[in-house]
């Protein structure tokens, strides 16, 4: 039943997100096959996570999330296949210093976008159960306050690739 609910709630994707995980893995579907039962449209693009550096206890993930609905949506949780814990974080300026803090709820405005990028919102991943290998893709699941969830693919990239491609994705 959860897989059926997940399939119904899958929304259109782009970039690395054309494949999804429901009753079968390993092949791709076109982006127009899935729509939410409430006509919502959520687009995930440029989803990537850096491979763990040697001896590192965490790594960061980035993506762009477009909300094409007429109401705000709120992300409350994220999971990545093979990782024990994934948190949504943000960088903030506090007393003249940059610091990072977890975010429990992140609102994506109606007809708006949130970009997860270095120096802003990002995913922090911890406790790898299986080593992340550059070039592979993993399943990413985003959970929302209304009970919906979206499954997507996230590509594992090197530290160098994570930052060198940032300049090509500004909106």
Query: What pLDDT is attached to residue 163?
Result: 65
CA distance 78 to 94: 26
Residue pLDDT, tens place only, 110-152: 999 999 999 999 999 999 998 999 999 999 999 999 999 999 9
What are the tokens at 160? 């160098």
pTM of the full structure:
0.71
DSSP letter string, 111-158: TEEEEE-TTSBEEEEEEESS---TT-EEEEEEEETTS-EEEEEEEEE-
What's the pLDDT tens digit per position in 96-112? 898 999 999 999 999 99
The arithmetic mean of pLDDT across residues 58-77, rounded, is 95
Residue 26 DSSP class: S
Cα gap 170→162, rounded to integer Å? 14
- Indicate the burial class of 164 (C-beta count within 10 angstroms; 0-12, 13-18, 19 or more): exposed
Q: Which domains does the chain have, with CATH numbers?
A: 42-158 (2.60.40.1890)
For 34-38, 73-77, 103-107, 146-150, which range has the lowest pLDDT when averaged over its residues?
34-38
Instruction: Give pLDDT, residue 43.
Output: 87
- Mean pLDDT for the chain? 77
**pLDDT band for position 159 (50/70/90)?**
confident
C-alpha separations of 119 from 93, 96, 108, 112, 166 in Å: 10, 15, 18, 20, 11
Average pLDDT over residues 29-41: 38
Q: Is the pLDDT of residue 22 over 80?
A: no
Whole-number Å distance between alpha carbons of 66 and 57? 30
């Amino acid at each position: 039943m959860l897989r059926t609910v997940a399939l119904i709630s899958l929304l259109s994707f782009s970039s690395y997100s054309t494949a999804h995980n429901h009753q079968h893995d390993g092949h791709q579907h076109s982006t127009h096959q899935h729509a939410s039962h409430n006509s919502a449209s959520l687009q995930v693009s440029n989803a990537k996570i850096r491979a763990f550096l040697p001896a590192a206890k965490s790594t960061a993930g980035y993506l762009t999330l477009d909300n094409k609905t007429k109401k705000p949506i709120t992300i409350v949780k994220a999971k990545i296949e093979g990782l024990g814990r994934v948190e949504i974080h943000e960088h903030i300026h506090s007393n003249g210093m940059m610091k990072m803090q977890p975010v429990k709820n992140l609102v994506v405005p109606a007809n708006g976008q949130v970009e997860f990028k270095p120096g802003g919102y990002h995913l922090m991943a911890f406790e790898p159960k299986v080593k992340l290998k550059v070039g592979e893709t993993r399943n990413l699941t985003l959970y929302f306050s209304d009970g919906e969830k979206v499954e997507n693919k996230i590509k594992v990239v090197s530290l160098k690739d994570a930052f060198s491609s940032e300049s090509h994705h500004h909106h």
